[in-house]
Amino acid sequence: MIQKAKGTYDVFGEYGKKLLYIEELIEGLMEKYNYEYFRTPIFESSNLFHRGVGETTDIVTKETYDFKDRGNRDMTLRPEGTAGIVRSYIENKMYGNHTVPVKAWYCGPMFRYERPQSGRFREFYQYGVEVFGSEDSLADAEVISIPVNLLKLLGLKGIKVNINTLGDSESRALYREALIEYFKPHIDELCEDCKERFLKNPLRILDCKVDKDNPIMKGAPKTIDYLNEASKKHFEEVKKFLDSMGIEYKVDTNLVRGLDYYTHTVFEVEASVEGFGSQNVLCGGGRYDNLVETLDGPKTSGVGFALGMERLMTALEYENIEFPIINDIDCYVIPMSENEKGYSLNLAMDLRLNGFITEIDYNNRNLKNNFKQADRLNTKFVIIIGEEEVKSGIITIKDNKSKEEYKIGKEKLIDFLDENVCE
């Protein structure tokens, strides 16, 4: 038997209904925030992710699915969503023909070759947003508010934001030098990856999973101590706007995020989920004012976030959040013989097009077994189509709860269901 690949999973049944509900909720929320839906290719040039995500990140060095296509081109299954959205923004010249800022949202599969564990897969789904063309701290605050409000709408509790700032390019350069000076005498005490990151990108050392509990990390310089005045002002404004929206946050000076492109604001959003441990963080993001230029576009500010759908679904399961999922159907149509199948199928089509969830017997069950099937499907009304119904146009319909039976002209069936289905 052929089985699914390690680190992947099938979606169906109740889980599928819940996932669709969340996606519909996201779509409605994005409409209210006036964000435009984007969908980019699942695979792109490897160079996009090497340059965009960063050569020194674990994602690029250890986790990407890289392959050569039949044209001998280096391609990569996308490991995250931002780089592809930025590429689309540049390639389609949205900086010239779109209303600024451009506000994008996406939801789709990403791929990273890492050890599968609870809430973490090799093929996983991310929902995210990106805003291009505004340096204003107001954009940072709005972006942070989106996942906060989504988690609240879903019924999660104890939602708060962990926030830090990396500062602008000047501040980051000062901080980089401070890190090099600090880690230089201790470099032999760090893991091999950190030794390689030391001169290429010392900020990555702070995000190391191997050395995260190393005492040396605790004494490392903090970004907040190397901010210039402009960076301090930006960060203070973001906090002020979060205060104005009543969003709870905590300044975490150890927060740097795992991607190379961030500048200024970085953040994570967590919820209080009993027994969830370190996975309480459900979302992360920040500002990236140099990424568009790095990928050959014009200098353009950006800010965004990504949220893992699997981790979100697990959090909702841990908290026993109930979903308003419809598990019943409005009408179950029973053709009594082969002769009535065409009429029954046409009737089912009419019912569906008029908004009623409708099923039909495809398996030639007898009447008793059809009523059992109607019960299994939580059917509201059973419609029986026999020879007499076809000839007369008078439909036999039975309320499957009260067991009351009605004879209704076909032309009045929709009106009858309109009055009774939603009672």
DSSP of 308-338, one letter per residue? EHHHHHHHHHHTT--------EEEEEEESSG
Read off φ and ψ for residue 71, nearest 5 degrees.
-95, 10
Check residue 259 and give its pLDDT. 64
Q: Coil, helix or strand for 292?
A: helix
Check residue 96 and give its pLDDT. 80
Check residue 279 and give its pLDDT. 60
Q: Coil, helix or strand for 256?
A: coil
Instruction: Decide: 43 and 32 in contact? Cβ < 8 Å.
Output: no
User: Which tokens go with 193?
Assistant: 């990856």
Using CB atoms within 10 Å of the CB of residue 69, give its burial: 0 to 12 exposed, 13 to 18 middle, 19+ buried: exposed
pLDDT tens-digit map of 373-383: 999 999 999 99
CA distances to 163, 283, 316 from 269, in Å: 9, 5, 15
Residue 320: what residue type? N
Q: Coil, helix or strand for 16?
A: helix
The string of DSSP codes covering 21-47 is HHHHHHHHHHHHTTPEE----SEEEHH
For residue 124, list its beta bridge partners: 110
CA 420/CA 377 separation, integer angstroms: 18
CA distances to 14, 49, 196, 282, 396 from 260, in Å: 38, 11, 15, 20, 67
Check residue 122 and give its pLDDT. 95
Instruction: Decide: 332 and 381 in contact? Cβ < 8 Å.
Output: yes
Read off φ and ψ for residue 185, nearest 5 degrees.
-75, -15
Residue 342, CA atoms < 13 Å, CB-side half-sphere: 2
Read off φ and ψ for residue 305, nearest 5 degrees.
-155, 165
- pLDDT per residue as tens, the chain (423 positions): 999 999 999 999 999 999 999 999 999 999 999 999 999 999 999 999 988 787 666 677 789 999 999 999 999 999 999 999 999 999 999 998 777 899 999 999 999 998 887 778 999 999 999 999 999 999 999 999 999 999 999 999 999 999 999 999 888 888 888 888 888 888 777 787 777 777 777 777 777 777 677 877 778 888 888 899 999 999 999 999 999 999 999 999 888 775 667 889 999 999 999 877 666 899 999 999 989 999 999 999 999 999 999 999 999 999 999 999 988 999 999 999 999 999 999 999 999 999 999 999 999 999 999 999 999 999 999 999 999 999 999 999 999 999 999 999 999 999 999 999 875
For residue 120, list its beta bridge partners: 117
Check residue 216 and give its pLDDT. 79
User: Which tokens go with 71?
Assistant: 């044209």
CA 60/CA 79 separation, integer angstroms: 8
CA 356/CA 304 separation, integer angstroms: 39
As a whole number of Å, the end-to-end CA separation of the chain is 48
Instruction: Decide: 282 and 76 in contact? Cβ < 8 Å.
Output: no
pTM: 0.90
- Other Cβ atoms less than 10 A from the Cβ of 89: the count is 23
What angle in degrees, to the nearest 10, is found between the helix axes of 192-200 and 169-183? Answer: 140
Quick check: bond before 298 cis, omega within 30? no
Q: Coil, helix or strand for 418?
A: helix
Helix (H) or strand (E) segment spanning residue 300: none
Q: Which residue has the tokens 């908004």?
A: 355
User: Which tokens go with 33?
Assistant: 């925030």
> Is the C-alpha dihedral spanning 45, 46, 50, 52 positive or negative?
positive
Domains of the chain (ranges; CATH) run: 13-168+228-318 (3.30.930.10), 329-420 (3.40.50.800)
Check residue 278 and give its pLDDT. 60
Q: Which residue has the tokens 């009594």?
A: 336
User: Which tokens go with 331?
Assistant: 């009408």
Instruction: Decide: 305 and 107 in contact? Cβ < 8 Å.
Output: no
Residue 52: what residue type? G
Check residue 60 and give its pLDDT. 78
